[in-house]
Amino acid sequence: MSKKLSLDKKYIKVLLLEGIHPSAVNSFKNAGYSNIEYLKTALDGEKLEQKLKDVHMLGIRSRTQLTPQVLKKAKKLFAVGCFSIGTNQVELMAGKQMGIPVFNAPFSNTRSVAELVVAEIIMLMREVPSKNAAAHRGDWLKKVGNSFEVRGKNLGIVGYGHIGSQVSILAEALGMNVLYFDIEKKLSLGKALPCESLSELLGKSDVVTLHVPETPDTQKMISSQQLALMKKGSLLINASRGSVVDYNSLAEFLNSGHLAGAAADVFPKEPASNTEEFNSPLQQFDNVILTPHIGGSTQEAQENIGLEVSEKLIRYSDNGSTVGAVNFPQVSIQPNRDKQRFLHIHQNMPGLLKDINFVFTNKGINIAAQYLQTDADIGYVIIDAECTNCEKILKELKAIPHTIRARILY
């Protein structure tokens, strides 16, 4: 048996940013990781690059931007956990090409966002935001005005995924008629009806709520042209990403009274910490609910996210499992401590597996098990072998052309 080559857990540095729930810290500690740095804020620029120099596993939420430039400088980084649903803050392709799997929590805060949206629908329909703001200034606005029940109104959901479909169920329970638009064919829940186009949905809805991811297609998908299609007196809710709505255009349509109100939880530029100032063209409107990106910020959601993402990172670090990675071929694997386990990440080229296997077979080393998954760009193979000269094997694996990264776990 060769001497232990894998990095001892006490030397594996874990950095957790943005006030991730302490459940994540406990989970790392329980798994034997003690070198954990915990910060409440996001980091960017030089500060982030400096901090990442000796970090092996990084945990972030939605504000830390991992650009190719930042990733390139993080030479030791082997895995990233987004303690959120969204992963748009990470350049996923760059991560993949550097052999860094990125994990997230695809539905741990879904219900929290859906509940906030439903509450906002009722508040906006009853003109609570403007009446509340007036009362804080000493004004008493007791009037029916344009206050309505939500029962019988049309709710248009853009993006009928995890959150959109939960909003659909809750809204139907309140007696709303649900319409939705999604680029993919979806199973309609309850009596929800799909729309052929975004324009159709905008023209039919009393309230529009957005639940799409940030992609090139969803950048400013709601701008002047789309706002003009919305019914006079209708409402808009954005708890998806700030880039999805052109807030300057929204401000114009609120100013003209075409829209009766709005709610925004996400913004193109969000403060990195609670001490930074927040600015938005929507701040001038009493009939707009502004929340500081708290759609998923409930104790239940954050605790579950802390556990879920840390467990995915730990499984990868301990065993090589990439289940739940959003940018990587997925390999599900149990530990096998009787053997030595090697990981090899490579560009997906014909013949590479043959080269990898040759390293072992050439020395008469028995490969006890091998697990390979590939996608169009990379291949990820885990090899359990019975070797006595692991250092040499690892060196040779690293020297194979088109290798991105090779490690020995145990």
Ligand X SMILES: O=C(O)[C@H](O)COP(=O)(O)O
- The identity of residue 68, as a single letter, is P
Which residues, numbered 102-131, are part of the site for ligand NAD (CB under 6 A)? 109-110, 113
The CA angle 21-23-24, to the nearest 5 degrees, is: 80
The partner in contact with residue 183, picked from ligand NAD, ligand X, none with C-beta cut-offs of 5 to 8 angstroms by kind, is ligand NAD
Active site residue 337: no
Burial 163-178 (b: 16+ CB within 10 A, else e): bbbbbbebbbeeebbb
Q: Pick out residues in 222-251 that bind ligand NAD (CB under 6 A).
A: 239-241
Active-site position among 56, 293, 315, 344 = 293
Candidates 121-129, 144-152, 293-301, 388-396: pick the segment binding ligand NAD (CB under 6 A): 293-301
Q: Kindly tell me which of 181 and 360 has the beta carbon lying closer to ligand NAD.
A: 181
Smallest gap from residue 293 Cβ to ligand X (A) = 5
Q: Is 85 in the site for ligand NAD (CB under 6 A)?
A: yes
136 is catalytic: no
Answer with the entry of ligand NAD, ligand X, none that 61 interacts with (C-beta below 5 to 8 A by kind). Answer: ligand X
| Site for ligand NAD contains 176 (CB under 6 A) | no
Report the alpha-carbon distance of residue 28 to residue 32 in Å, rounded: 6
Copy the structure tokens of residue 305. Answer: 């996210």
> Which residues are bridge partners to 235 per DSSP?
207, 261
Strand partners, 222: 245
* Between 163 and 378, CB nearer to ligand X: 163
The conformation of residue 170, written as its DSSP 8-state character, comes to H
What is the spatial distance between Cα 155 and Cα 153, in angstroms, rounded to a whole number?
6
| Nearer to ligand NAD (CB atom), residue 113 or residue 179 | 113
Helix axis angle, 162-173 to 110-125, nearest 10°: 50
What does the alpha-carbon distance between residue 164 and residue 85 come to, in Å, rounded to a whole number?
Answer: 13
Q: Of all helices (H) and strands (E), which one includes residue 130?
A: helix 128-136
> Is the CB of 58 or the CB of 85 nearer to ligand NAD?
85
**Identified binder of ligand NAD from the candidate list 15, 74, 158, 394, rule CB under 6 A:** 158
Q: Which one of ligand NAD, ligand X, none is in contact with 308 (Cβ closer than 5 to 8 A by kind)?
A: none
Q: For residue 215, give both structure tokens.
A: 């992609």
Between residues 107 and 410, which has the closer beta carbon with respect to ligand NAD?
107
Which one of 72-80, 133-141, 205-213, 393-401 is the stretch in contact with ligand NAD (CB under 6 A)? 205-213
Q: Rank residues 59 and 329 by Cβ distance to ligand X and give the closer one.
A: 59
195: contact with ligand NAD by CB under 6 A = no
Residue of 49, 115, 200, 270 with catalytic role: 270
Minimum CB separation from ligand X for residue 117, in Å?
Answer: 13
* Contact residue for ligand NAD among 91, 265, 308, 384 (CB under 6 A): 265
User: Among positive and negative, which fits the CA dihedral 276, 218, 324, 373?
Assistant: negative
Known catalytic membership, residue 241:
yes
Q: Got the DSSP string for 344-398? A: EEEE--TTHHHHHHHHHHTTT-EEEEEEEEE-SSEEEEEEEEE-S-HHHHHHHHH
What CA–CA distance (Å, rounded) separates 142 from 150? 19
- At 193 the three-state DSSP class reads strand
Angle, helix 110-125 to helix 128-136, in steps of 10 degrees = 80
Among 162, 220, 258, 405, binds ligand NAD (CB under 6 A): 162
Among 95, 129, 159, 329, binds ligand NAD (CB under 6 A): 159
In order of 32, 242, 312, 318, the CA distances from 11 in angstroms are: 11, 38, 19, 13
Rounded to the nearest whole angstrom, what is the least distance from the CB of residue 68 to ligand NAD in the complex? 21
Residues making contact with ligand X (CB under 6 A): 61-63, 84-86, 109, 293, 296-297
Interface positions with ligand NAD (CB under 6 A): 85-86, 109-110, 113, 158-164, 181-184, 211-215, 217-218, 239-241, 265-266, 293, 295-296
What residues act catalytically? 241, 270, 293
